[in-house]
Structure 1
Amino acid sequence: MAELVFFSGTMDCGKSTLALQMDHNHRARGRQGLIFTRLDRAGESVLSSRLGLATSAVEVSEDLDFWEVVVAQLTAGGKVDYLICDEAQFYTPEQVEQLARLVDELDIEVYAFGIMADFRTRLFPGSQRLVELADRTQVLQVAALCWCGARATHNARVVDGVMVNEGEQVVVGDTAAGQSEVDYEVLCRRHHTRRMSSRAAQAAAVSADVLPFDLDACPIPPRRSEFP
């Protein structure tokens, strides 16, 4: 039975790399699929990884209908075994419902990849609908790290070097500082809550006014065997 699977995680955890690898694995076994993405950092109609890998893809506009695209392909004599859907957090809830319909009615595998929450720690509408409808939601095991070394769980937006928590939900940027007007950084919950980005931490480290605990790395919980 086909499934709708949602692979989720913060930025820098390898979602797009996994999407490219899964497409390669399926094609190597003679299966045929379609690749979709929206607002990729590399530009329109491209699925790219920060490792430097990239492939062409169908750009998902707000009015794209996945059901119509796939049915048109099948009607023209094409074959569609699976869909790779990157940056799925930017899809509309209706588009996610179309993906679920393709799984249920046409038995087509759908692999969606995306961020769960935005820089304000609010769920993206597309991600929320995926969680509600997906047969499986999988958190990627490759852990992105906060500047303190703890596992990063939150995405932070940085504008002119300053972390912000207000603004439009969707603004394209990257985690490579200085590459665009808006940068993003992955942080642990503690430092996201305190708005302590890596740049803010560096500035505070040279300030005589900062208290020592303001820069403490997040404590690593003891192993179970270390409890009394």
Structure 2
Amino acid sequence: MAELHFFTGTMDSGKSTLALQTNHNHAARGRVGRIFTAHDRSGVATVSSRLGLTHDAVEVDPGFDFWRYVVDQLTHGSRVDYLVCDEAQFYTAAQVDGLAKVVDELQIDVFCFGILSDFRTQLFEGSRRLVELADRMQVLQVEALCWCGKRATHNARTVGGEMVTEGEQVVVGDVDVEAEVHYEVLCRAHHRRRMTTERARAVSMIAEPLPFR
């Protein structure tokens, strides 16, 4: 029986890497799939991992219809055994409903990968609906770490070097600290205190590494 899977974690927990590995594993067994993404960090319709892995993908904009896409593919004679859906937090609730319909009515496996909550600690629309509908939900075991060494649980956004907790939910940025819009992961305590890596370094909370002789 086909299933709707949801793999989630913070930034830097390996979601896109696992999405690409999932596609590779199924393709290696002769299965034929499609890969989707939305607002990937590369800025193009590509699933990209911070490890340097990439794969072409179909861009999911707000008007994209998964059910219609898959039915069109099948109607025109194409084979579709599974879907890999990266950055699923950016999908609409209706699009997730469409993915569930693909699973139930067409018996096609769907593997979704995405962040649960945004920089304001509020659930993304797509992630909320996946939590409600997924047959299986798995929190990735590769733990991202806060600058303090504790497990990172929250995503933080900084603009011009200052952490913000208000604004548009979706703003494409980078993990490069030099970027105007920058993202990093923090533990809950330091997210609450708005204590980013740069702020902690400014007040000397991060110890410099000891020199080795």
Bin of the TM-score, shorter chain as denominator length: over 0.9
Aligned length: 207
Give the equivalent residue in structure 1 for 2:27: 27
Question: When the two structures are superposed, what TM-score results if normalisation uses the length of structure 1?
Answer: 0.89
Give the equivalent residue in structure 2 for 1:52: 52
In terms of Rg, which structure is larger? Answer: 1
After superposition, the C-alpha distances for 1:89-138 in whole angstroms (9 at most, x for unaligned) are 00000000000000011110000000000000000011000000001111
- Which amino acid is the alignment partner of residue 118 of structure 1? D
- Which amino acid is the alignment partner of residue 79 of structure 2? K
Q: Pairwise mapping of residues 1-228 of structure 1 onto structure 2 (< 5 A)? A: 1-178=1-178, 180-205=179-204, 215=205
Contact kept in structure 2, 1:41 and 1:172, CA below 8 Å: yes
Task: Give the CA deviation at 1:176.
Answer: 2.1
Structure 1 unaligned regions, length at least 5: 206-214, 218-228
Question: When the two structures are superposed, what TM-score results if normalisation uses the length of structure 2?
Answer: 0.95
Structure 2 unaligned regions, length at least 5: 208-213
SS of residue in 1 equivalent to 2:18: helix
Distance 2:172 2:6 in 1: 21
After superposition, the Cα gap between the structure-2 partners of 1:216 and 1:198, relative to the gap in structure 1 and judged at 3 Å, is closer
Contact kept in structure 2, 1:5 and 1:134, CA below 8 Å: yes
SS of residue in 2 equivalent to 1:55: strand
Contact kept in structure 2, 1:11 and 1:175, CA below 8 Å: no
Contact kept in structure 2, 1:156 and 1:184, CA below 8 Å: yes
Task: Give the CA deviation at 1:161.
Answer: 1.2
- Which amino acid is the alignment partner of residue 164 of structure 1? V
CA RMSD of aligned residues (A): 1.2
